[in-house]
Amino acid sequence: METPVKLIVGNWKMNGLTPALDEAGALRQALEADPVNARVGLCPPATLIAPMASTLGAGPVELGGQDCHDKDSGAFTGSVSAPMLADAGARLVILGHSERREGCGETDADVAAKVEAALRAGLEPIVCVGESLETREAGQAVAFVTAQVRASLPDALKERTFAVAYEPIWAIGTGLTPTLDQIAEVHAAIRAALVERVGEAGHRAPILYGGSMKPDNAADILAVPDVGGGLVGGASLKAEDFIRIIRAA
């Protein structure tokens, strides 16, 4: 079977003012000058999506949001809907990031409703799962993550294109990463849960690894069986670092 191309997505989180568009422009230029055999995405804060759509144009970098509301419009002050992301030029959307699950109290059911909203708007969801250090130390990482997969993915995904990101919470922004064996173990378990949950679509969906992915560890992590790409936070803010990760794919 042909190996599917990797999906490498940058998550800028709440970072980036207008001058940061230059980093997106530099990324586009670098990938146009020397193309890679990978899909590349950037998810800036909502305020930069529309201007970044101009920066990225029809080039090789896909654009995404970092969250969306589960309703398409209405009286939800401060929220951004999936149709709004699509209207601004996004094609992807990160959903269920641990910073939203923990910081904003999002449950698996909330995430599933957001995934449905994203699909209605024609966006490709990247659904995040991952255990805390406490859960890992209790030997429950696989059970916890597979339960999140089952409960965060709606039936509507059966016919659709989507990705899952395994992001151990204790690895995010800490410089710590799981061992390659630990990554392989969780990715295999996620694959099995995906297939059980959504059938054929679960075989196709890339499973990204996220959490302190850097230029110097990306090649090893991306070579682990069933690691279909990366979700990169801090190291995606500078085009120079992000390109080194992308070239490792």
Name the residues that contact ligand PGA, by CB under 6 A.
Answer: 11, 167, 172-173, 210-213, 231-235
* Alpha-carbon dihedral angle through residues 203, 206, 212, 214, given to the nearest 10 degrees: 130
| 57 versus 173: smaller Cβ distance to ligand PGA | 173
* Helix or strand run (H / E) with residue 119: helix 108-120
Q: Tell me the two tokens of residue 12.
A: 């800028």
Report, in Å, the least distance between residue 94 CB and ligand PGA.
7
- Give the residue closest to ligand PGA by C-beta: 233
Report, in Å, the least distance between residue 231 CB and ligand PGA.
5
169 contacts: CB under 8 Å, gap ≥ 6? 98, 102, 130, 131, 132, 133, 211
Q: Taking the alpha carbons of 130, 135, 136, 140 in that order, is the dihedral positive or negative?
A: negative
* Candidate list 23, 97, 106, 131, residue with the active-site label: 97
Q: Which of 193, 186, 150 is nearest to 168 (CA)?
A: 186
Report, in Å, the least distance between residue 220 CB and ligand PGA.
15
| 229 versus 233: smaller Cβ distance to ligand PGA | 233
Q: From CA 15, how far away is CA 157, in angstroms rounded?
A: 30
* Known catalytic membership, residue 159: no
Q: Tell me the two tokens of residue 30.
A: 């670098």
Report, in Å, the least distance between residue 155 CB and ligand PGA.
26
| 142 versus 232: smaller Cβ distance to ligand PGA | 232
135 contacts: CB under 8 Å, gap ≥ 6? 141, 144
Centroid of chain to Cα 172: 13
* Candidate list 106, 124, 131, 167, residue with the active-site label: 167
**Are the C-beta atoms of 43 and 16 separated by less than 8 Å?**
no
| 71 versus 244: smaller Cβ distance to ligand PGA | 244
Strands 207-210 vs 229-232: parallel, antiparallel or unpaired: parallel
| 83 versus 115: smaller Cβ distance to ligand PGA | 115
| 83 versus 98: smaller Cβ distance to ligand PGA | 98
* Known catalytic membership, residue 97: yes
Report, in Å, the least distance between residue 1 CB and ligand PGA.
29
**Are the C-beta atoms of 31 and 55 separated by less than 8 Å?**
no
Report, in Å, the least distance between residue 146 CB and ligand PGA.
20
Q: Tell me the two tokens of residue 104.
A: 């904003």
The set of catalytic residues is 97, 167
